[in-house]
Amino acid sequence: MGMNTRVTELLGIEVPIVQGAMARIANASLAGAVSEAGGLGIIACGGAPLAWIEEQVGMARSITSKPIGANVMLMDPNAGAVAELLAELRVDVITTGAGSPANYMQLWKDAGIKVVPVVASSALAARMERLGADAVVAEGTEAGGHIGELATMALIPAVCDAVSIPVIAAGGIANGRGIAAAFALGAEGVQIGTRFLTVDECTIADAYKDKVIKAKDSDTIVTGRGSGHPVRCLKNAFSRKARKLEDDLAANGDELEAMYVGSLVRAIDGDVDNGTMMAGQSAALVYERKAAAQVVAELMAEAQALGALDLGALAAANARRERARGASSAQ
């Protein structure tokens, strides 16, 4: 099952699968299980108390001796303190979102941490490379949670052409076919979130998991576009009401704000009617519950059966891109 790409070598993992940092969901139980299975588990730190973050990192390290990552939401008012704590804890990898990690890059580098920002455009990816990022996660709009505008099919090759550091594809990937497609587009790893919502080690309520398993391809909705913070989630009474209220933000802003408070926690606890069930479009490709190790093994087996992870072809493609980048720079 194991394989080597620049992503696996960089992150010290066995397979090129990174678990998505799902806020309030990606805890030690899930991250530890994914890392133990050979991928990279990520603990989501956005909005979390420092004591919880330290506890979860410790718990994950009790589950596995393999690399563990953490995600920092840079728009979090507490981001600075989180950044310093993760440096002290010396997590192996930090992924970032919702802002620039420039203020913390040297801090993390000095602690020996690999830094992998999540980006939604080739311009932002190039900027992260200039800042010293070790790799980038290029996330298409098919993803769950906070999203950009570009679709994965267009975004991944554009980012691969724009940077020389490894690219990890995200958005809409939930099976081996998706991994194969991502590698065909130039990525050397994938980030997967929604597929891991239903694994045994994910601690969300069974009702939430059941909604993901039953979801069809048209069962996600994007809220928050009017406020500039679009979020993809499953359709339910809550998300439909939110979209209706967004038609007149000036009149309904206060009601919307009150609605959103605690909405993700409600969903996690099992209130699937009145909570935000974050999930990507790939929920339609999730059919069952399994252990994380089974999911990782099956993802890799399917991708490899499709012949997608041909390292010779991957190296040749990287060389071609570098030649093209060099020619473009010389003009």
Q: Can you give the pTM of this predicted structure? A: 0.88
DSSP single-letter state for residue 99: S
Band the pLDDT of 35: cuts 50, 70, 90: very high
Both 277 and 296 in a single domain?
A: no
Q: Residue 250 is part of which domain span?
A: 206-284
> What digits encode the pLDDT tens for the residues 272-321?
999 999 999 999 999 999 999 999 999 999 998 887 556 555 555 555 55
Both 272 and 298 in a single domain?
A: no
**223-231 average pLDDT score:** 80
What total number of domains does the chain contain?
2
CATH number of the structural domain spanning residue 80 = 3.20.20.70
pLDDT recorded at residue 273 = 93
Assess if residue 5 is contained within a domain: no
Is-contact 182 169, C-beta < 8 A? yes
Both 130 and 46 in a single domain?
A: yes
> What digits encode the pLDDT tens for the residues 308-324?
556 555 555 555 555 55
Band the pLDDT of 173: cuts 50, 70, 90: very high
Is-contact 272 237, C-beta < 8 A? no
> What digits encode the pLDDT tens for the residues 72-116?
999 888 899 999 999 999 999 999 988 889 999 999 999 999 999
Band the pLDDT of 331: cuts 50, 70, 90: low
Which residue type is seen at 197?
A: L
- Contacts of range 270-273, beta carbons closer than 8 Å, 24 or more positions apart: 270/205, 270/206, 270/207, 270/208, 271/207, 272/205, 272/207, 272/208, 272/211, 272/236, 273/236, 273/237, 273/238
Single residue among 247, 265, 284 that ends a domain in this structure: 284
pLDDT recorded at residue 1 = 58
CA distance 148 to 141: 5
Is-contact 99 131, C-beta < 8 A? no
What is the share, in percent, of the chain residues with pLDDT greater than 70? 91
Both 35 and 114 in a single domain?
A: yes
